[in-house]
Each structure stands twice: as C-alpha cells, then as structure tokens.
A and B are shown apart, each in its own frame.
Chain A
C-alpha cells in the first residue's frame, strides 16, 4: 500500500514538471514574436526591446527555462504587465473566492445528487425514477448563462432576497452556487443511479439478502460502499474543473474568481499572469485527482491490501 501511494505521488511529481514545462513554452508557442503580440502592432522598437529584456526573452531558451524553474521554486511568479503588481498577489486574491464557490457548488450538487440517485435506483422504472431522471435531464440541459440571469431576475430583482452580483457575505454566494451546482448535480445523480443499480445486481447483494438483511442494511452496508468508486471519480473530476474557474458563472455574477482573472489576462495579453494562472489551475486539478486516487486506496481494500 505504501508503495502504491509513493508510486502515485511520484507520478504526480512528474506531471507537475511536465505542466511547468508546457506553461513555460506557452509564451514561445505563440505564432510570431510574443513581445510584438503583447505590445500590439504600433509599439516602438525601444519599448519592445525593454519588455523583451525585462521578461528575459533575449537570453537562450535553456537559460530561460532554468531561471523560470528557479523562480517557480521561490514562488516568484513575476509581475503582471497590466496591473503592475506581483502575479502571486493577484492570484492569492482570487483563489479564495474560487475555492469558496467551488466547494459550495459541489456540496450542493452532492447533497442533491446522492439521495436523488439512490432513490431513483431503488425505484428503477417507477414514477420516482422517471421524475428524478427528468430533473437530471433538465438540469444538464440548462446553460449557466441562462440559469444565472433567471435566478438574478427572480431572487434578486423581484424578491430582493439576494444581492444581484459581487461577493459580499454568504447571501451573495447562494445564486452562483445554485447556478453551478445544478448542472453538476444533474450529471452526478445519473452516475449515482447507474452505479447503485449496477451494484444492486451483483451476486453479493443476493448473498446479503439471503442472510436475512433488510433493504436498508443491504443498501447502506453492502451496495453504497461498492458504488462509491465511480462516484468519487466523477466528484474529483468535477471539483478539478470547478477550480479551473467557472468562467461563465463568474462573469454573470461578477464573482472575483480565477476564471474571470484568466479571461482578463488573456484579453490584455498579460503573459506572465496567463502563465501563472494556467499553472495554478493545472496544479489544482492535479492535486484533486491525486487526492481522489489516494481516496480509492482508503475505500477499496482490493487496492489497500494484497
């Protein structure tokens, strides 16, 4: 088991290095001269030379790469061209709101999806199942750029229960979390349903019933423990994607998260900021996935022992 965990961590470390390298190369993969792209067509040669020197682009690629890695190791992410502030500070401001929204949306999705999926599986083909899957279909089909404004219209403008946008207190979190969480819940509920249904058809469920166990014990002790694996995988992937920033939802609600920061950075061609944001998002994704894999080890004894 220890070996398995170490192997997983080792391969995660390799991926980190790969991600850093790709992010470093990002600036060089842009067609044409990156400095010209950043400053626009009408820039003066002197300004271009100054920027090139300040970004270190005038030195050989190998030297640049090593310097980049050294700075990364010191958590020095450079300075934003647009805001003229350290990139690390900008990211630090935005990671909090993003985490907040991601966790709220995911918690909401889990709270809706797991009971819904389990109940639907228990009543396969019945009215409850059809209702739950109808909701799920609807939830997956509604785009966030439509659901967000509708929620604002109803709850903020008509009823006045929540702020229209921005990030001021818990109330302002409600609508963005619902907007994001609905779609996630819809997909997750389907996964929970199919996973539980599959497990309920297994031989060991029949064994459990043959022992004289009642339906509740069969479901909780025997079925759900086995149904967890695919559900965990999906939750992990969804959480990773949420950390990448829910650009549409953040934009609709003017939520100061990573997604909107990345969009701004791309629009202003702020390369150091784009690089750092992409790096942070990739690493968070990797972190969540590694954590999910390690959770498997805890959940599944076939991986843990023997």
Chain B
C-alpha cells in the first residue's frame, strides 16, 4: 500500500470558551489516498463540517484544535504558522461549500474571484492569469467562458455557481479537495451534473476528494470508502460496497432502514428514538447507547474501542468486541426485507371519494417596471394545472425548484389568488370567493410548510400556536376546552402534552414539524397540502414524520397533496404522482406506473438522476444539459425541448396535447402515442 495522502490522527476540536466547551471533533483518525473519494457521512450536528474546517484550519473564532496531527503529504499542517498555512489553503488543500448562492462574493465578478486564487498560488503575469481563469472555467464546463469571466454571481444559476466554486478550488492544483455537501442545495438533475464533473476532474488530476454529506445515495454513487460520524466521533469505516451490503454499526443500520423507498411502502420506516447527545459533557459509555436497540449493560459504562471487522473495515461498538463473542450475532444481514413490493392500491374512481378538483389552474405574477409600475410581462409560475385530491389518498407533486409546485399548492388553497381556472371543493367553486365566504372552507384545507423553524411565531406558546386556528375559526372559543383539544392533538402527533406551555425554540426540527402537523390537524381538515415537510430534516427524523403522516392518513382519511423533489419519499408515501416542469404537469399517473415506467423524457431524466443506494436498481443517468428556463420566457413549443434528448421537429413549435395511456395515466409528449 502506498503512503496515504492525508493522515489524520487523534484530532480533537473544541468550540466555546466557557466551563463546558463543546467537543465537536473527538479523537478522530482518518486516512485518504490520492485519487480516492472518501465520504464522511452523518446527520446534522455530528461534527462532519467541523472536521472539514479543522483540516483547513478555518474554525470560527471560538474554536481551537487541542490535540492530534494532520499530515498532508509530508507536511504537518497543525504545526505550520498561519502564514505558511495560507499557502496550503487553496493550494494543495482546497474546499468547496454547501451553498453556492452565498459562498461567492456578490460584488466581484467570477473572473476576479477565480483570478485571485490563481494569483495567490501561481503568481503569474496578468495575461497568463486571465488565460488560466478561462481555462479553469472551461474545465468545469461553463459555456462561453471568455464572456462569463466578467459576469457577477447573481447572473448565474445555482449549478453554475457551484461550478465556479469548483474552478476556484482547482486554481491551486489541489491534491485534496474537501467538498462539504457540494450538491445539497442543488436540484437532482444539477446534482448529477456536478457529481459527474467532480468525478471527471478527479480522474484527470488524480486528486483525492473528501466528500462530506448526509445523503446515503450520493455516497453510494460517488464514494470509494466512507466513514460514518456520530456525536463527534467516527463510528464505522468501510469500503462503500461492503457498507451498503452489510452496515456494521447499529447506527449505520438504522440510517439505512430509515430511508424511504418503494419496497418499504407496506410498513413503517425504522426510526432512531431520541436525539444526538450534547457534546459538552464527558461520556462514560457509548454515545449511541441511549438510542441503540442492541444496547447492553457494558455500553452504558464503558466507552467502546475501535474493532477491526475485516480488511480495512472498523467499527466502534461493543458488539464487535471479540472478548464478548457476539460478532457472529451482529453480522446478520440487515433486518428482513418485506417479501415483495406492496401491490399498489387501486384508485377508486367513485365520486364520493373525490374531495377537490382543480382544472386548468393558472397563477401568473405580473412583472412591473418603471415609475408607473407598468406590466411588461408575466411569470407563468403555474400555467394550467389540473389535479384531483381524494380522501385517504396522497398525490405527490414532483419537480425541481422553480417549477411552480409550491405556488400550485398555495393557489389550490387560495392562499395566493389564482389568475384563472377552477378549484372545486366538494363541488363548490372556491375561485373568487371573498375572505369571509372562503372562511368556512379554511377549516377543511390546511397546509404544512417546509421550514419548521420559520413557520411558527417564536413569541407564541406552542399551545397558542396550535389552538389559534380553533379560536380564529370559532370552533372552540373558550380557553379551557381549547387547551384540552391541544393536549389531545399533541398526543396524536406523539408529543408530550406539556409541550403546550413551552416556546417553539425549545424543540428540535423534527419535533417542530410535529407541532406544525398538530397545528394543521387542530381544525380537523380533510385536505392537507404538505410542502416539502421533510426536506429540512435528517433521514432518521424524516422517517418519524413520514410514519406519522401515513398513520394519520389511515386513521383520519386525510387527502394529501405532497409537494416534494424527493423521489424516494414519493415512492414510499404517494398513491399518485404528477410531475411538473415550468408551470405545467408533464406526466401523471399511479405511483408504480410513473416510477417504474416513466414515459416523458423529463421524468426519465429526473428519475435517472436520483442517486440510489441499491446498486441493482441503478440506472444510466440521462444527463440534461443546462438549466430550467425562466418561467417568464418559456421556450416556444414544448417547454422541455431545448434540454430534451429525444427532441423532434414538432417539439419546437407546438406544445404537446395530453396523451392518455390507460385510465389513470397522462403524458404531454409528442413522442408518446396512446394505445
């Protein structure tokens, strides 16, 4: 075996100066070889980003490295002076970040920002710097690089910005690139482009990549080896294939089991009870003991050692202690899989289950210009969407950011006044109703938002947040009975009724989303629009929320419009799917029909770009070029034609009519013919 490129030993980082500093990275060992992609996997707060910032020596002011060694090649980074470290940073060791939107300086052109990095590390003449900047932009696949150097970050799309970040990182010819959640803020088709780019660049330059992510799918598709982090420590390392075949640590197993998928439809997802312990204390035993199903007495009072499993694998868990002789026990294959995918339930077309029908719904926003605010055009956010919501059924509205799915959800509930179309709830037209006449319907139509942190008033008690709807709609105007209802609702969503007397900030993300669900349920709605309710949550917490939503639907017969970009959630939860592109539904049908046999080229590309854990299920990624066009200037003809791999002449002129494929299936594509 060759010398590793990066060798980290006993690395420990503390944050905070008080009596109880937080040990965000605790005695961490790691080694990486040239040309390798090593993934650091973990949920939020486990210390993975802090590990990256420690390696870069870019900790926040209150952070300090208290022990350990970081060797990059033959340089010990921790003993370098700050001035010498600066030559390594952005040179041999470069980093890209999660949010390309905020990671580029808005007032400098992208050319200047890349040139700066070139000058620091390669200090060439002016012309050479310019030439190198263009070369770097070309290397990361930015079209027309010569023109683009003079552009500012806000003129580029998210994916393009991340490419600029990568170009900047490449400026110093790095041997190791740290990529901290590089695609988390991007749509799946763009994610596929960026991951592909990183792979290509790695092959050309032989650099190593330390990929920090929470996404098991991304790890499965792009990493060679991985380490799982929990509470500041590495708890398992393995080659990626071995890991997904047989995760060894109980935490790793739970993470895998909590991933939603079509196979798990019939049952509930595994959840990890409790939460990550605070890191400002001294641990006696295993940090995962309180949440572990396989917990033993020894786990509570003795810290587990690092045990080799086989080859390069290792686990920090007492189950693998040879002295305890349990290893055979713990190598059992992952919990029994359901025998087969549950048969997809037939949708009853009987009229009494139909709750809401939207026809040709349009939401256009005027673009105003000038002193007199004259209207110069329209953003066609939603441009003719038709859909049905049925009791006890979930319709997933799927699409990438900017496709209009959230606006469609709000328009449906009349939270935004639609421009045109019809929304009938139990046969009654909701379009154009005054606030007062809309009020009786509000009770039946509720919404849960994406961000559980921003969607509750921080100065209101939880009990008042949940009870407010009961009061406003005069369902329960008296305080005492209202609070009894609130207590029942909290129990219903699996929270302690005492939560009513506390403030939202006292709860974790998953708990807050439960509170938001309780708030929506308070008025006993029949339809809930769920707008990306789990996309701000970790997978193990997401599993809790998905389980809860599924239970509630079965018990209360709720209809969900589930707005999401996450295909695995759709596969697990939805009965029907509608795929949106640029304000219109391009394909819809039963979930098994659409996911197993997508017919629209966009649906196919979208599904192929989703990273999957199961290697057998992997499809060839259909690469889409470019970004989604602006909904203020949709392309002529089929909106998708400029990016479509199957484009034919007619696509450039005419928007395709609906083609019906069977009772439940519709596609808008010239290449799809009925029959």
Contact with B along A98-117 (1 / 0, CB 8 A): 00000000000000000000
Closest beta carbon of chain A to B375's beta carbon, Å: 15
How many Å lie between the Cα of A301 and that of B152 in the bound state?
Answer: 7
Residue B664, interface by CB 8 Å: no
Contact with B along A262-306 (1 / 0, CB 8 A): 000000000000000000000000000000000000011110011
A221-B116, A222-B105, A301-B106 given; A207·B168 CB < 8 A = yes
Please determine whether A210 and B56 come into contact, CB atoms closer than 8 angstroms: yes
30 chain-A/chain-B pairs, Cβ below 8 angstroms? A3-B370, A7-B370, A14-B371, A204-B102, A204-B103, A204-B105, A204-B106, A206-B97, A207-B97, A207-B105, A208-B105, A210-B58, A211-B120, A212-B87, A212-B88, A212-B121, A213-B86, A214-B83, A214-B86, A217-B116, A221-B108, A222-B108, A225-B105, A226-B106, A299-B107, A301-B106, A302-B107, A302-B152, A306-B152, A306-B154
For residue A14, which residues in chain B have a CB less than 8 angstroms away from its CB?
Answer: 371
Residue B75, interface by CB 8 Å: no
How many Å lie between the Cα of A116 and that of B106 in the bound state?
Answer: 25
Closest beta carbon of chain A to B175's beta carbon, Å: 14
Residue A203, interface by CB 8 Å: yes
Residue A168, interface by CB 8 Å: no
Residue B99, interface by CB 8 Å: yes
Residue from the list A3, A225, A301 in contact with B154, Cβ < 8 A: A301
CB closest residue in chain A, given B106: A302
For residue A33, which residues in chain B have a CB less than 8 angstroms away from its CB?
Answer: none
Residue from the list B86, B103, B109 in contact with A212, Cβ < 8 A: B86
How many Å lie between the Cα of A212 and that of B122 in the bound state?
Answer: 12
CB closest residue in chain B, given A11: B371
Residue A134, interface by CB 8 Å: no
Nearest 7 CB-CB pairings of A with B: A212-B90, A211-B90, A203-B102, A212-B89, A204-B105, A301-B152, A10-B371
Interface residue tally on B, bucketed by range? 35 or more
How many Å lie between the Cα of A222 and that of B104 in the bound state?
Answer: 10
Residue from the list B87, B103, B155, B369 in contact with A207, Cβ < 8 A: B103
Residue A209, interface by CB 8 Å: yes
Contact residues, A109-159 vs B (CB, 8 A): 124
For residue A212, which residues in chain B have a CB less than 8 angstroms away from its CB?
Answer: 86-91, 117, 120-121, 172
Residue A41, interface by CB 8 Å: no
Contact residues, B111-159 vs A (CB, 8 A): 116-117, 120-121, 151-152, 154-155
Residue from the list A7, A10, A11, A300 in contact with B107, Cβ < 8 A: A300
Q: How many A-B residue pairs have CB under 8 A?
A: 91
How many Å lie between the Cα of A225 and that of B97 in the bound state?
Answer: 22
How many Å lie between the Cα of A301 and that of B113 in the bound state?
Answer: 14
Closest beta carbon of chain A to B33's beta carbon, Å: 23
Closest beta carbon of chain A to B83's beta carbon, Å: 8
Residue B94, interface by CB 8 Å: yes
How many Å lie between the Cα of A225 and that of B87 in the bound state?
Answer: 24
Residue from the list B104, B107, B120 in contact with A213, Cβ < 8 A: B120
For residue A10, which residues in chain B have a CB less than 8 angstroms away from its CB?
Answer: 371
Residue B219, interface by CB 8 Å: no
Chain A residues within 8 Å of B, Cβ to Cβ: 3, 7, 10-11, 14, 124, 202-204, 206-214, 217, 221-222, 225-226, 299-302, 305-306
CB closest residue in chain A, given B99: A203
How many Å lie between the Cα of A306 and that of B630 in the bound state?
Answer: 14
Contact with A along B491-516 (1 / 0, CB 8 A): 00000000000000000000000000
Closest beta carbon of chain A to B372's beta carbon, Å: 9
For residue A222, which residues in chain B have a CB less than 8 angstroms away from its CB?
Answer: 105, 108
For residue B104, which residues in chain A have a CB less than 8 angstroms away from its CB?
Answer: 204, 207
Closest beta carbon of chain B to A64's beta carbon, Å: 29
CB closest residue in chain B, given A124: B61
For residue B369, which residues in chain A have a CB less than 8 angstroms away from its CB?
Answer: 3
Please determine whether B102 and A202 come into contact, CB atoms closer than 8 angstroms: yes
Residue B165, interface by CB 8 Å: yes
A209-B58, A210-B56, A212-B91 given; A306·B155 CB < 8 A = yes
How many Å lie between the Cα of A214 and that of B94 in the bound state?
Answer: 15
For residue A3, which residues in chain B have a CB less than 8 angstroms away from its CB?
Answer: 369-370
Residue B95, interface by CB 8 Å: yes
Please determine whether A211 and B116 come into contact, CB atoms closer than 8 angstroms: yes
For residue A221, which residues in chain B have a CB less than 8 angstroms away from its CB?
Answer: 108, 116
Most buried by A among B117, B121, B171, B172: B117
How many Å lie between the Cα of A105 and that of B196 in the bound state?
Answer: 59
Please determine whether A210 and B90 come into contact, CB atoms closer than 8 angstroms: yes
CB closest residue in chain A, given B178: A210
CB closest residue in chain B, given A211: B90
